[in-house]
Amino acid sequence: MKFVIANDHAAIELKETLKTWLEARGDTVVDLGVGPGDKADYPDKAEEACLAYLAGGYDFGILCCGTGIGISISANKVKGIRCALPQNAFAAAMAKEHNDCQFIAFGGRIEYQDQPVDMLQAFLTAN
Ligand code: RB5
């Protein structure tokens, strides 16, 4: 599968974790986010990734900011994009199965009970 991923400066490590996990599975990840030492405004990163997705060629998009809140709100303002901010793996699966989300968002400063990688896996394996 092919993913577009983007992040602001508050979720660089999380973005790398998700990207590494996907690439280890054999997926292709196009990274539009910032790296160490860089800063970005999360609305800009959300819009960039959503427009890239809508241009075609991607299966899913992943967005990360400090909480996941700002970047998911921004993504959902883009016409045609449905972005989930799941609380746990169950919600992540439902985001695809019941809400047909193409994007999933996570927070790099959040202490999750279900790790983002596990939520992403639940999202991807859902029907
Ligand atoms: C950036 O410091 C932070 O506010 C942002 O990443 C995000 O958490 C907003 O929702």
The catalytically annotated residue of 50, 65, 83, 101 is: 65
User: Which two tokens mark 94?
Assistant: 């439902």
Model pLDDT for residues 4-51, shown as the tens digit of each residue: 999 999 999 999 999 999 999 999 999 999 999 999 999 999 999 999
Closest residue (by CA) to atom 10 of ligand 1? Answer: 70
Q: Separation of 26 CA from ligand 1 center, angstroms?
A: 30
Q: Taking residues 92-121, what's their average pLDDT?
A: 98
Distance CA 88, CA 81 (A): 21
Instruction: Name the residue type at position 56.
Output: G
Distance CA 104, CA 110 (A): 15
Q: Residue 42 and residue 39: Cα distance in Å, rounded?
A: 9
What is the pLDDT confidence band of residue 53, given thresholds at 50, 70 and 90? Answer: very high
Q: How far apart are CA 123 and CA 109, in angstroms?
A: 21
Gap from CA of 43 to ligand 1 centroid (Å): 10
Q: What is the pLDDT of residue 25?
A: 98
Which residues, in sequence order, are bridge partners of residue 105? 63
pTM for this prediction: 0.98
Confidence at residue 51, expressed as pLDDT on a 0 to 100 scale: 99
